[in-house]
Structure formats: structure tokens, C-alpha cells
Amino acid sequence: MSKALPTRALATTLLALVSVAAQAQAQNDHAAHGQADAQTAAPSTQTVAPAADPHAGHATSASGSTAAPAMDHGNMQMQGGSAPPDARDPHGYSNGLTLGSGDYAVPGVPRLMLADEHRFFSLRGETLERRFTRKGDDSTAYDLQAWYGTTYNKAVVKAEGDIAKGKLEESRTELLWGHAVAQYWDTQLGVRVDNGEGPSRQWLAFGIQGLAPYWFELEATGYVGSGGRTALRVEGSYELLLTQRLILEPRAELQFYGKDDPERGIGKGLAEASAGLRLRYEFSRQFAPYIGVERAGSFGRTADYVRAEGGRAQQTRWVAGVRFWF
């Protein structure tokens, strides 16, 4: 997951996150780009072109060869989009046959099954780290994602939390059905449970996760809880390969809530945000210790709750941990 376009500042990313995520939902990855506005009509343009020869116009200009019209490949789209109504039928050559049955099928032979019908499993520890702050209220944090399933449909578990002084401060655990909807995007639908200090909260979750242009990893999830509670969580990261194994990862996370929840110390609006840089060394792809620094803050009424408990609304913390997967 590389990169090497170190020109984008993290701040810009943050702003881009929400809009990119939203547009991705529309299954048009390219909409996020500058020019895209004028071109969002591209897929439909395509449908307008006569299918037999979408470039038919050019043929006529073969002798004339005036440059301008020939260049107008207005219907060209290399990624995404939607199929024109006259797109080729992938079963058009089958003549009604199905796999492993009918003419010449060998009796008693189960049909071939390949890995596209297998299920795979992966557990990824994005962060498992110790956080150090100047005040000494150090904590241990984890951010894990596991999935089980096929390329296009997966059960996804996400777990994130903080443990301080042997006690679970806060945790968020989600169980989701991940479904591939576009080249680089999965939708996720499921439930979320918050534990830790204060009463437990349950939510329904719907979000997207994927890869935005320029290799930004994005996650945006909206939540609806009991009692009219709503929330939005957006997370983005990027990987800068300094070398093939030394990788700098900027990462940011924003959490919004639609309603005050004093029992859990949460206020309406932007409640928490963090932005950090982690530098890891990949001894292998699957095992990479890292160090980093992160600025984390509470805002609005959430910050008030934190201060009321004697905490600091904003803090800088050093982190050291390990990223791993198997």
C-alpha cells in the first residue's frame, strides 16, 4: 500500500475524508477528484454511445483526420462506473450450460471448486501500543480488525479500546457484514457495543471502508443508538514508504455525536479527535514494531467533562507498539 506522494498534508486529508467517503458511497471513486464534477456524468455518457462501436465517430474522420474530434474520448473510463445497458453478457457464450452438468459431464464427479469459493481469515492488529503522556497517566491501547469470508462478503470484527491502570477505560467493538460494492470499497452493516466507564451503549452501524485515490485508507461509519443517539466516526491513514521496510504512517480519527451523553462523558458535536504519526519497521510484513507521537483532544462539551474530572482536554502522547497480522 504505497504511495510515495509525500505532498499531501495530513490536514488536507482530514478535510477530504468526509467528502471522499460520502462520494465513495455513490460508487464513483473518481468523484473525489478535482475535475470530477464536470465528469460525473461519464458513466451515463457511456450509455449513450452506440455500443457496437463507441468510437464510431472516429472512423468517419479517418481520412479527414482533424485532431480535435478524434481526441474526444468522452466516454472513456478505466475504473468504476456502471455498465451500459448493452454491455456484453458474461454468460452469452454458455448456450445455457452450467458448470459440471449437462453434455459430457462426468457422472459422479463434483464440480471443480477453486479459491474464489473458499473463505479466508485475517486478523490485523493495526495498533497495539503503550501510550505515554507527560502527566504520567499512561495507558495501553488496541485497534484490531479481523475478517472471515470471501472476497466480496466478509464477517468483520473491529475492536478498539484503552486500558489504564488495569481498567478498561473505554472500548468500541463492532460486528459487521462487509460487502464489496466497488473496486476499492466495502460497505459495512452491523452492530457496535461500547463498554468501559459509564453505562454500556449499543448501536446499529453502517459505514464504508476502503481505499481512496492516492492510497488513503478510509473508514467512515455512522451509528444509531437507543434514545435517539447518533454518532459518526471517521478514520483515515496513509503509508509513506521511506524504504521497503521503514514506513511512516500518518493517521487521524474523528468522532462526532448527535446528542450529549453525560454518563459517558460525551458531548454533542465533535467530541474527540486524534492525529498521529507512527514509524514502523517491517521485520516482516506481518510483524512491525513502531514508535510514534500523537496529538489527541476532546472538544466542546466533551472537553468540559474531561476537565471537570481533572483531565486535560488536549494532550500529546508518545506511543510504542507493534503492528501485526496473521
Of 185 and 203, the one with the shorter C-beta distance to other proteins is 185
Residues in the chain: 326
Of 214 and 318, the one with the shorter C-beta distance to other proteins is 214
Question: Least CB distance from residue 281 to other proteins, whole Å?
Answer: 14
Question: Least CB distance from residue 277 to other proteins, whole Å?
Answer: 14
Rounded to 5 degrees, φ, ψ at 131 are: -110, 130
Question: Least CB distance from residue 101 to other proteins, whole Å?
Answer: 10
Question: Least CB distance from residue 156 to other proteins, whole Å?
Answer: 13
Would you call 255 exposed, middle or buried from its count of C-beta atoms within 10 A (0-12, 13-18, 19+)? Answer: buried
Through-space distance between the first and last CA atoms of the chain, rounded to whole angstroms: 17
CA pair distance 296, 284, nearest whole angstrom: 29
Of 232 and 241, the one with the shorter C-beta distance to other proteins is 241
Of 124 and 312, the one with the shorter C-beta distance to other proteins is 124
Of 1 and 168, the one with the shorter C-beta distance to other proteins is 1
Of 128 and 248, the one with the shorter C-beta distance to other proteins is 248
Cβ neighbors of 86 (< 8 A, separation 6 or more) are 51
Hey, what's the cell of 98?
452450467
Question: Least CB distance from residue 129 to other proteins, whole Å?
Answer: 20
Q: Cα dihedral sign for 130, 164, 311, 266?
A: positive
- Coil, strand or helix at 14: helix
Would you call 181 exposed, middle or buried from its count of C-beta atoms within 10 A (0-12, 13-18, 19+)? Answer: middle
Question: Least CB distance from residue 310 to other proteins, whole Å?
Answer: 42
